[in-house]
Structure 1
């Protein structure tokens, strides 16, 4: 071509210096133009020159060369490479067919009769291109899709053959049917190619450009359509349409190659969904063949029977395709119904998950707010919110593990659900907090329900093989007095619940407006306490513990005091609950322990043997629940240099009653050599089992048993029983709150040998106690 050498297979066709796709198209267009001129001359002169048959082969060589080059860019694009080479081979076979057709034309005296060999070569070319098309990896097709594809092809074949037969029959019937069948085969094959290329273009393929496939389909349409119009040239003897049709077909093929080469070097187009529009081809085929049959019947043509057969076959094929479509639609509807049912179930699951707690299956905050709003709209006077918080759940969770904790939460949820009034919403807010939405009855009815529920909760709960005793602090907030929303009711219930905890846990408290003022005051105290810890407003005082036999000092108890710059002295009864509630008790307790130990060391250095034998420090339950508290005690002893036997840790019975981390920490502290004392003994969860499991050295008998000890009666009996218990267990007993000489004498007669109280001395600063201890023969009292 123009004397140019073919480019390297690794060279970009768009940048090849000597041969560009535009040149290929231009040369092909020139050949097609000459063929059209030849055809016009032939029509006019009725004596066409034989040179016209050279045009098809020239056009074929140009088109085949372009198609071959379209398959030679980069070797990794193998599907495209093989397809275009199939096209090149197919076009070459069509060119050979045109040579055979020209030979037939020239040797038969310019006859348009096509031999079987020529038709076979044409069909071979079409078949090769079809094979290349079907080998393109594109959209995966199911068996049903392949069946519909085959029915569509069969419909195209029958329709085209019916029309072609109708056109060819009058011309060729006189010369026999042999040539007619070969013409029909070529025309049918051409239209099959048209349908196949267009169908593949619509269903999609990643290797071949869609517009290139459309152009290839157009080549088949031109060739097959031109062949079907051959009988129209019967009035022009010796004029053939092959020399003009093949160059035009090759020109369109060159345009397809040009489109493919340009698309190969452009960014891939954005993916688009496959077309789901119904195909109108089957219905068009039925309509056209039916129309042809009506025309043949009206004109009573000789081939009417053949046309009728074609129309019936087309109708049967379209009906079969329609039945497949209906069957597929029915299957699709059934599948859609199943999916919709599954979607509905999934939607229900999502709705349930959105309104229910995952662990317990109870309602969550979303459902609680919704139900509360509905209940308040219906009958606000009967609505109450109860907030339930499990006491000491953290200890169980830490000591026995999260699996046991989760099992306990689930078991409690089941028990709550089983023992609440009908219509009550049971919800879990998270952690160990539950909420009851009570919808019926008065506040008195709600309280009665909570009493019954508290009794049920105290029954042992089985969790992963552990029988656990559960207590709960409950806050009840009745609707009314401005509590018109779920949030406000829940806030009030929370305030009441914390009030229940401050009163000793395991009980319920009904909200009153005074609690808000108390809560606000507690919050202010907690904020000021944090400032006090940082600015030195806190200090310790020490109350003597006396050996009653000689009145000599045995030890001291360290007590915290706070001088507020505006309020003046603030008592522990006011700020210790605030510290407990906010968690400040942990750093506050650490400061008290360190300060007391440092003071004890100073006394030993200043007073020697006259220094207190032990200093007692109160430790809260919150501190004992902190894993590693014993390690903190050991660190303070090491930092201050205080001997362990000079330190006494005082704890309440409630702090260690449930065992767990608190009891483990006490054993670790005892192992350090520190003395352990049970404070306020007799007022909490007193039990002999506690004295057996807790590493106790000292019992501090509560003041309530000392107050009336001189009057006999039950108090004196308890006080006497406690001293016998202490002596029997080899424990030191300390009577607290001794205020009169008569009380001291009575206690001494009962067997008490250690006591503390205002009768001996009030708590005093360290300096005052140092001065007292410096006096010779200092005695605080005598029995």
Structure 2
């Protein structure tokens, strides 16, 4: 089916099925003949019995086809239905031949042979319903089903009893009334199966026509007076309708199985109105026949009504028991929901919502809040898996309870962060608890056959008059981060100075967000010269922040903050574009001179930014600067044990960009890093240069760095050179390039142009 074609609804298959259309058309043709033969009851009787035979055959064929199409658990059921249809076909065929050959007195009743085959077919239908499995799993489901089924069957039995012994019209034959009683029972039993069992053999759209057939047959038999007169054509139509209904049911089920639409499958409801509907019908019929019933007839009906009353009472007791169980389950579910809403599912501690409510309720002046954050918890998840991390959190939660005492409120805020409220406990008592927490956490923990020791950073904040819980938590958070900044594994109490610093930093962060857009940054450039002849070879770009209120803000004040907040990525992108633009401008300004290379510092967060390589390529393309004229300067700590940073540096080398290891010698793993880091040059940190002429150890380190650079074929740059003596010593140690106040402080781009102009003038003079 293409998108432009309308979807075919499942009901359309029912309308278009040739078998169903043929059955309906055949029935309409029979009804037309009844009206055309009006006044000729003998001919009408012949047409009626001739019309019965194809309908009976359709029932037999439909049941046999479903025996092959339906699930194997339904095959025996459909075999019985097919057998019933075959029995009806044989009986009605025999009687049809009889009325054709020997018409006799017109009568709607069949002969002895037809009645015998009819009884066999009806028995087969009843047996099919009896042997079909209910699909009930528990004893309670079976009990409820049979309770409801018995209610329906007893109600049908009462109706059948009333009809059989006290028909509504005196002209109604007792035999027909008895047949009607049987049909009522069959209809009620079939309806019980369809309405009450979990997986009926037929979809309801197919079952209800067959159930209705018995009801229509019973009603037509009991119609009083003129409704039974053979002179009326509609009598034949009414007598033919049940056969049509019972014949089309299996064919509808065939279509349902073929289409497979879920809307045509039975859906089990938690209750059924059928028993209650049968109770209402039973009492209506009972009170209708009550005035004229004989005592023997009344006894049977009364017994049935009494039995139904007891069955209803039993059903209500079951419903009451179910309701009580439901209420109990609801209480349990509400308790579980309440626990889920108030407590952490992993540790059983209070969650953030519950902790906030408890803090509001218990917080008094002099209470203390501890905020605990596990140190290096991520390493446990990364190396041992999240299951081990969860186990560790549960152990930590248990130890926090032990350290806190009964009066404290312990909470897991999320992740590896916990909070502990000590109502009415001042700083001295809180310090004891904090020390106990650190002691307990330091005890070894065995996880997955590994022994771990846990450390935590604890921030402590004392509640002050008028302070709300959110402020108290914020203060503890500030103190906790101060503990991490000072080396972790300790507790720190909040002070006003910390708050002032954090507040100032928060303002700085907000202003940094706008600094790039407002064009508040500028670059200064410090010359890098060749030590052998003092020739200017390149520059290092250094950022400055021209704050509209504070004035010139040095990098030491905002770069660390920008790195912690990842704002350095946007700032670094601006530095990269501006430095490349200026270097390209110098190349155009001095076309006959060797181009200057420009160094750009890149922090760790920038190296881990997946867009850095693309940003570098875009800056080079936009400015026209050759890749070899750009040097990316990184620190050892930025690339240490970081696969993403290493991959980024390899990609930068592929672009043709040069890489320099800045501040070399200050990190813990410098020597090992040289084997893997794809750099072109080493920059000796200024801390090894400032006393190189007087401190022999600094000279030894500088010598070693120079020798390693030469051995690894790296370029070497010495930073922080301020005297000619330092310059001469470093040059003697083998350093190629130098940078420092000896030549120039960081200066604007115009000053670099002046230095370049002067140098070229001297060279040509």
* 164 and 656 in structure 1: CA distance in 2 versus 1, 3 angstrom threshold: closer
Q: Which of these residues, 184, 190, 196, is aligned with residue 200 of structure 1?
A: 190
CA distances 1:604-656 after superposition (whole Å, capped 9, x unpaired): 66668986875432110111123474676577668745464x55433233323
* 651 and 146 in structure 1: CA distance in 2 versus 1, 3 angstrom threshold: closer
- Shift in Å, 1:573: 3.5
CA distances 1:136-157 after superposition (whole Å, capped 9, x unpaired): 9999646977999799989999
* 465 and 652 in structure 1: CA distance in 2 versus 1, 3 angstrom threshold: farther
Q: Give the structure 2 partner of residue 576 of structure 1.
A: 559
Distance 1:570 1:584 in 2: 16
* 375 and 643 in structure 1: CA distance in 2 versus 1, 3 angstrom threshold: closer
The equivalences for 1:384-783 within 5 A come to: 384=369, 386=371, 388=373, 406=386, 410=390, 413=393, 416-417=396-397, 420=400, 421-422=403-404, 425=410, 427=412, 429=414, 434-440=416-422, 442=426, 484-485=468-469, 510=494, 512-515=498-501, 517-532=503-518, 537-545=520-528, 553=536, 555-564=538-547, 568-577=551-560, 579-600=562-583, 603=586, 615-627=598-610, 629=612, 633=616, 640-642=624-626, 644=628, 647-666=630-649, 669=652, 674-679=658-663, 681-682=665-666, 685=668, 688-690=671-673, 694=677, 697-703=681-687, 716=695, 719-720=698-699, 722-727=701-706, 729-730=708-709, 736-737=719-720, 756-758=739-741, 760-775=743-758
- Shift in Å, 1:700: 3.2
Contact 2:632 2:660 in 1 (8 A): yes
The equivalences for 1:169-184 within 5 A come to: none
- Shift in Å, 1:197: 2.5
Q: Give the structure 2 partner of residue 178 of structure 1.
A: none
Contact 1:11 1:73 in 2 (8 A): no
Distance 1:213 1:719 in 2: 110
Contact 2:347 2:393 in 1 (8 A): yes
* 677 and 415 in structure 1: CA distance in 2 versus 1, 3 angstrom threshold: farther
- Shift in Å, 1:556: 2.9
Q: Give the structure 2 partner of residue 216 of structure 1.
A: 217
Question: Which structure has the bigger radius of gyration?
Answer: 1
**TM (normalized to structure 2)?**
0.60
3-state secondary structure, aligned to 1:586? helix
**TM (normalized to structure 1)?**
0.59
- Report the RMSD for the aligned CA atoms in angstroms: 7.0
The equivalences for 1:16-55 within 5 A come to: 21=31, 24=34
* Structure 1 unpaired stretches of 5+: 1-7, 32-54, 105-116, 168-182, 227-240, 297-303
* Structure 2 unpaired stretches of 5+: 1-17, 67-77, 137-141, 168-172, 196-203, 253-262
* 530 and 250 in structure 1: CA distance in 2 versus 1, 3 angstrom threshold: same
Distance 1:277 1:475 in 2: 68
* 158 and 136 in structure 1: CA distance in 2 versus 1, 3 angstrom threshold: closer
Contact 2:85 2:121 in 1 (8 A): no
* 383 and 251 in structure 1: CA distance in 2 versus 1, 3 angstrom threshold: farther
CA distances 1:405-461 after superposition (whole Å, capped 9, x unpaired): 7468547645744654446645464xxx53212122556776787789889999999
* 456 and 744 in structure 1: CA distance in 2 versus 1, 3 angstrom threshold: farther
Distance 2:113 2:28 in 1: 37
CA distances 1:20-70 after superposition (whole Å, capped 9, x unpaired): 759859999x89xxxxxxxxxxxxxxxxxxxxxxx8x78855754665687
* 599 and 730 in structure 1: CA distance in 2 versus 1, 3 angstrom threshold: same
Contact 2:639 2:645 in 1 (8 A): yes
3-state secondary structure, aligned to 1:436? strand
Distance 1:673 1:599 in 2: 17
What is the aligned residue count?
661
Q: Give the structure 2 partner of residue 277 of structure 1.
A: 275
Distance 1:192 1:259 in 2: 15
Distance 1:470 1:619 in 2: 34
3-state secondary structure, aligned to 1:439? strand
Is residue 359 of structure 2 the alignment partner of residue 375 of structure 1? yes
3-state secondary structure, aligned to 2:638? helix
* 21 and 216 in structure 1: CA distance in 2 versus 1, 3 angstrom threshold: same
